[in-house]
A and B are shown apart, each in its own frame.
Chain A
Amino acid sequence: KQEVTQIPAALSVPEGENLVLNCSFTDSAIYNLQWFRQDPGKGLTSLLLIQSSQREQTSGRLNASLDKSSGRSTLYIAASQPGDSATYLCAAALFGGKLIFGQGTELSVKP
């Protein structure tokens, strides 16, 4: 059974810091791995998707890596800003489209 874990559960950093969010999954048989952002009371915004054959994806200040053999993915946020404050969720996609989500990392970036 696929389980997804995110560490840390919460993170508070000063503006400008580079930070890393961690995601681990128990079964390497994934179709892809997606990182999402969720603002309070809102839906999910897709940030990055890494296909199972890829090692990383980049979008602006965000970089996500995937290591299937170790069951790990990381989301790197460069030069954090207060507007980055949100909950970040990673999700492993099983064949057939079902997403298994971690519990999320609540990020607070202080001005």
Chain B
Amino acid sequence: KAGVTQTPRYLIKTRGQQVTLSCSPISGHRSVSWYQQTPGQGLQFLFEYFSETQRNKGNFPGRFSGRQFSNSRSEMNVSTLELGDSALYLCASSSLTGAYEQYFGPGTRLTVT
């Protein structure tokens, strides 16, 4: 079974621009969560989607948004990029059955200059 995939793997953007990151979950998984990882703040929860609905949201400004499609693939968008948005963005998928284990993708490294 293929794992969680994220595209692109690396991205360089300029302040003020916007960016869209993509995540394809493990086949059959309907829950997708997004996390931001920075050296200073560690791993922080952004939001979680299940069946195209955002069920949970972390403490991030409205510039961070996401969506989920009917095939469970998810995208997150960051508008008006700031230098502090430079981070590794990780997505995780879960089947929401049994142990509720979450599986992470390799991440997208975003650099804002």
Contacts and interface: CB of A to CB of B under 8 A. Distances in A.
B103 interface: yes
Interface string A93-105: 1001111111110
Contacts of B102: 34, 46, 93, 97, 99
Interface in B41-72: 42-45, 48, 55-56, 58
A44 interface: yes
A28 interface: no
Q: How large, as a class, is the contact surface on chain B?
A: 20 to 34
> Secondary structure at chain A's binding surface: helix, strand, loop or mixed?
strand
Given A43-B90, A44-B90, A97 B48 contact: yes
A100 B44 CA distance: 7
Contact of A103 (B42, B48, B96, B109): B42
B109 A41 contact: yes
B45 A49 contact: no
B80 to A, nearest CB: 26
B107 A96 contact: no
Given A41-B109, A104-B42, A49 B33 contact: no
Contacts, number: 63
A93 B94 CA distance: 12
A110 to B, nearest CB: 24
Of A46, A96, A99, A100, chain B has the most CB atoms within 10 Å of the CB of: A99
Nearest to A104: B42
Interface in B26-48: 31, 33, 35, 42-45, 48
Given A32-B100, A46-B102, A96-B55, A101 B43 contact: yes
Of B58, B92, B100, chain A has the most CB atoms within 10 Å of the CB of: B100
